[in-house]
Amino acid sequence: MKTTIQFGPQHPVWVEPLRLKLTMDGEIVKDCELEAGFCHRGLEKKFEWDYNKGAYLSERICGICTQHHSTCYCTAVEGTMGLEIPRRAAVIRTIMLELERLHSHLLAIGLTLESIGFENLFMLCFRNREIVLDMFERTTGNRVLHGINIVGGVIRNIGPEMAKELEDFCDIMEKRCLDLKDMILKSYTIRERMQGVGVMSEQLARDLCVVGPVARGSNVPYDIRAVAPYVLYNEIKVKPIVETSGDCWARSVVRVRELFQSIDIIRQCIPLLADAGEDIFAKSKTLPEKEYFTRVEAPRGELFYYAKGKKSKEMDRIKVRTSTYGNGPGFVPLIKGSHLADVGLITITFDPCIGCFDR
């Protein structure tokens, strides 16, 4: 007998609305239909706007990867004007990007663990996350929406004192992440629950062009920081972290290992602050007129902005392609044939961000 189950839009597993229409045969999912658009606000239309205000709007596409969104937007608009930002601004942006990856990955790991019922580690992840948020509050003035990126640079400087605090922060964070890593990787329960669930084969990952930890969990070493370096990644070489098995476990392990990579990059960036000049903002002399696109490796994967100016303050067209947009087609083949109890776990290891997906 076949039954249809509506999974979402209001579901305890996801914070955000998304609907999956599951056709069930007993406990096994036979067919799955994805319905999105519950978060669609119409931001691409709104972006035909003053380009300075656009930086604040792009931040509010997604609250988890704000810095990535605004960096990508600002780089795209700077490209249309042919503007180059000062070196110090680039260093500050890189530090912020990596800090954000830390807090996003901790959030994703925590939510994954919560969805399999491991409340303790979820709380521990959030406890560690608070340190990152404190660091954000000190450097940028807000916990989540940072608002320091503007077209042409950044608005808040990181002084020598703050740089020292960042170093201390790295030490504390590394210690805590090591604890967390031990607890997750050595846990028999977690491994047994997640291994072999929701396997995405390497061929499927290449066919569907999935991005970020989902692709890297399936042995596709696709990382924009290595493929097409942006702000400071020309100097700081990043080697993509790859796992081979392609299941929920592999995707989580990629995120755990990337925590240390991020801490390492922040450590490499701090000495660069000392001899980077004092300018953090370059004023543009021209208006946006050409077309340009940029890509940034957000915590969830590749983030793409296309900008086209029309020689006035207003932009002509901004297209946003977010990482969940790239991972969206990957839900359906994995859910087909799995158990109903695994649907929540599989989707949460994709780290879906519906605010990004629908814009």
Closest CA to 74 of 94, 52, 104: 52
Smaller CB separation from other proteins, 205 or 269: 205
Residue with tokens 């830390």: 102
Among 222, 249, 331, 350, binds other proteins (CB under 8 A): 222
The one segment of 36-44, 83-91, 246-254, 263-271 that binds other proteins by CB under 8 A: 36-44
63 binds other proteins (CB under 8 A): yes
52 binds other proteins (CB under 8 A): yes
329 binds other proteins (CB under 8 A): yes
> How remote is the C-alpha of 20 from its chain's centroid?
23
229 binds other proteins (CB under 8 A): no
Q: How far is CA 240 from CA 98, 216, 261, 266, 297, in A?
A: 14, 8, 9, 16, 11
Task: State the DSSP string of 305-349.
Answer: EEEEE-SSSBEEEEEEE-HHHHHHHHHHHHHTTSBHHHHHHHHHH
What are the helix (H) ranges across the chain? 43-46, 51-59, 66-81, 87-115, 119-140, 160-185, 188-194, 202-208, 212-217, 224-227, 248-274, 323-335, 340-349, 354-358
List binders of other proteins among 135-174 (CB under 8 A).
Answer: 137-138, 141-145, 147, 155-156
Among 82, 221, 277, 337, binds other proteins (CB under 8 A): 221
Closest CA to 210 of 359, 324, 346: 324
Residue with tokens 């709380």: 123
Among 29, 32, 51, 66, binds other proteins (CB under 8 A): 66
* Rg (the chain; Cα; Å): 20
Smaller CB separation from other proteins, 134 or 235: 134
List binders of other proteins among 260-289 (CB under 8 A).
Answer: none
Smaller CB separation from other proteins, 100 or 249: 100
Among 45, 164, 239, 311, binds other proteins (CB under 8 A): 45
* Integer Cα distance of 312 and 283 in angstroms: 16
Q: Mark residues 287-326: x for contact with other proteins by CB under 8 A, - for none.
A: ---xxxx-x------x-x-x-x-------xx-x-x---xx
Tell the smallest beta-carbon distance from residue 65 to other proteins (Å). Answer: 9
Tell the smallest beta-carbon distance from residue 48 to other proteins (Å). Answer: 9
Among 20, 22, 29, 64, binds other proteins (CB under 8 A): 64
299: phi then psi, degrees, rounded to nearest 5: -55, -30
209 binds other proteins (CB under 8 A): yes
Smaller CB separation from other proteins, 195 or 286: 286
